[in-house]
Amino acid sequence: MSIATNNIAFNVDEIRKDFPILNREVNGYPLVYLDNAATSQTPKQVMDAIVEYYSNYNANIHRGVHSLSQEATDKYEGARKKIQQHFNAEKAHEIIFTSGTTHGINLVASGFASILKKGDEILVSALEHHSNIVPWQMLCEKTGAILKVIPMNQEGELIYEAFEDLLSENTKMVFLNHVSNALGTINPIKKIIDKAHEKGAAVLIDGAQAAPHIKADVQALDVDFYVVSAHKMCGPTGVGVLYGKEEWLNKLPPYQGGGEMIATVSFEKTTYAELPHKFEAGTPNICGGIAFGAAIDYMNAIGFEAISRYEEELLDYATLKLQEIEGMKLYGTSREKTAVISFNIEGLHPYDIGTLVDKMGIAVRTGHHCAQPIMDFYKIPGTVRASFSFYNTKDEIERFIEAVKKAKMMLS
């Protein structure tokens, strides 16, 4: 492996060798990929795990006695244990494989339909991605529960005192992201979890944006549910995990019916399998789960402390350079944030900026970032969002800044 390890100094040039896509050109320019909050790039080590699965032991899991099935099962369940250890879950069966963060949230929301009743209250933060808003709105429509919103301030931070005021004996569920995908704000989730638990409310944390930057310890957080996607963590698309405390997962009914999630089936009655299989109906994304385990190995070999320090340098550098551009407006200026910058330039539409910088090989995200309530709060149609990962460089940031300046000149 060419990656740096915990025992070797962080070396971005060596790390970049693991990502073949970083060598390509876009519109005649070397690619500068700054859309990591949407999806990260995939190293060769993870690609190799995918090829190895399909080349050497492609078979269905759990059901077969033949060697390929047993090998695939061992690799898949081995990946579950890697993920358990990474997030420090107490038990491997508290890790449920899903198709991603959205699937995990919907699984929990569906389960709470059998728990909530009319007049119960659930709290959502104003900083959420649509996938952590819409399922809960649908739940309220089904149950008669009441959705209340924890407000934010101009810096893009949640107003904790308002959360305390909203919290009551009627609060049954609190859900928010660990990190805002649109602004990069790191929320004080431990403080919120502890306060919610004082009222007996369960807490779900959307960890999709935090997981690439922060190694969450679910036991230390005492969180009830934590959801992530592999494709934000150098893994493949279409796979993620839901962590849930065993007691909560046992309370929730199955999300889907089918093979694998049953103990016995007759036309008179079906009994359900134990965790985790109760929530894993049908043939899973076997290769995706194994590759997620490989991605976890890859990022841990570099070390999350090293990743965090380096990405903070990139964020500080890019922020300083952007602020030198006349008419620049930054959104999300929390003191605690990860490597995301959202901005607009006075008089220019973010889509136009994004289109022009793409012509110069720079990949950024433009629009509302599936966070329309945030854009409504700031009374803007959207932003340009640049998001950084540990394989980006200051030279790439310089190219990004120059591209933004050129776009500004062309549009002014």
Separation CA 214–CA 299 (nearest Å) = 11
Q: Based on the domain organization, do 166 and 278 belong to the same domain?
A: yes
Separation CA 168–CA 403 (nearest Å) = 50
pLDDT tens, position by position, 114-167: 999 999 999 999 999 999 999 999 999 999 999 999 999 999 999 999 999 999
Q: Is 116 part of any domain?
A: yes
Percent of the chain with pLDDT over 70: 98
* Mean pLDDT of all residues in 23-31: 97
Separation CA 378–CA 374 (nearest Å) = 7
Q: Which residues on adjacent β-strands are paired with residue 359? A: none
What would the two tokens of residue 332 be? Answer: 């999300």
Residue 109 confidence (pLDDT): 97
Which of 301, 324, 339 is the endpoint of a domain?
Answer: 301
Q: Based on the domain organization, do 282 and 355 belong to the same domain?
A: no
Residue 259 confidence (pLDDT): 77
Q: Is 3 part of any domain?
A: no
**DSSP designation for 299:** H
Which of 277, 301, 325 is the endpoint of a domain?
Answer: 301
pLDDT tens, position by position, 303-353: 999 999 999 999 999 999 999 999 999 999 999 999 999 999 999 999 999
Coil/strand/helix, residue 70:
helix
262 vs 387, residue with greater confidence: 387
Q: Is 4 part of any domain?
A: no
Q: Based on the domain organization, do 287 and 399 belong to the same domain?
A: no
- φ and ψ of 218, to 5 deg: -70, -30
CATH of the domain at 309: 3.90.1150.10
pLDDT tens, position by position, 75-117: 999 999 999 999 999 999 999 999 999 999 999 999 999 999 9
Residue from 222, 182, 233, 212 nearest 382 by CA: 182
Residue 146 confidence (pLDDT): 98
Q: Based on the domain organization, do 17 and 104 belong to the same domain?
A: no
pLDDT tens, position by position, 157-215: 999 999 999 999 999 999 999 999 999 999 999 999 999 999 999 999 999 999 999 99
Q: Which amino acid is at 331?
A: Y
Q: Based on the domain organization, do 364 and 275 belong to the same domain?
A: no
Task: Scan for tokens 């050129």, then name that residue.
Answer: 406
Q: Which amino acid is at 399?
A: R
Residue 256 confidence (pLDDT): 85
Q: Is it true that the peptide bond before 276 is cis, omega within 30 degrees of 0?
A: yes
Separation CA 205–CA 220 (nearest Å) = 14
Q: Which residues on adjacent β-strands are paired with residue 25? A: 30
Q: Based on the domain organization, do 286 and 401 belong to the same domain?
A: no
What DSSP assignment string belongs to 300-353? Answer: HHH-HHHHHHHHHHHHHHHHHHHTTSTTEEEE---SSB-SEEEEEETT--HHHH
Q: Based on the domain organization, do 361 and 403 belong to the same domain?
A: yes
Q: Based on the domain organization, do 22 and 90 belong to the same domain?
A: no
What would the two tokens of residue 2 be? Answer: 């060419």
Separation CA 226–CA 202 (nearest Å) = 11
pLDDT tens, position by position, 260-309: 777 787 888 888 778 999 999 899 999 999 999 999 999 999 999 999 99
In the structure, how many helices (H) and strands (E) does the chain have?
14, 17
| pLDDT higher than threshold 70 for residue 3 | no
Which of 257, 278, 301 is the endpoint of a domain?
Answer: 301
Residue 9 confidence (pLDDT): 64
Contact 291, 50 (CB under 8 A): yes
Q: Based on the domain organization, do 332 and 271 belong to the same domain?
A: no
Percent of the chain with pLDDT over 90: 91
46 vs 269, residue with greater confidence: 46
Q: Based on the domain organization, do 352 and 276 belong to the same domain?
A: no
What is the average pLDDT score of the chain? 95
Question: Of the residues 140, 234, 287, 370, which is catalytic?
Answer: 370
Q: Based on the domain organization, do 250 and 276 belong to the same domain?
A: yes
Domain count, the chain: 2
Domain that holds residue 125: 47-301
* Mean pLDDT of all residues in 384-397: 98
CATH of the domain at 230: 3.40.640.10
**DSSP designation for 25:** E
Q: How many beta carbons lie within 10 A of that of residue 316, not counting itself?
A: 11
* Mean pLDDT of all residues in 238-262: 92
Separation CA 84–CA 253 (nearest Å) = 22
| pLDDT higher than threshold 50 for residue 1 | no
- φ and ψ of 327, to 5 deg: 85, 5
Q: Is 1 part of any domain?
A: no
What residues have CB less than 8 Å from 91, skipping those under 6 apart? 84, 246
Respond yes or no: is residue 234 known to be catalytic. Answer: no
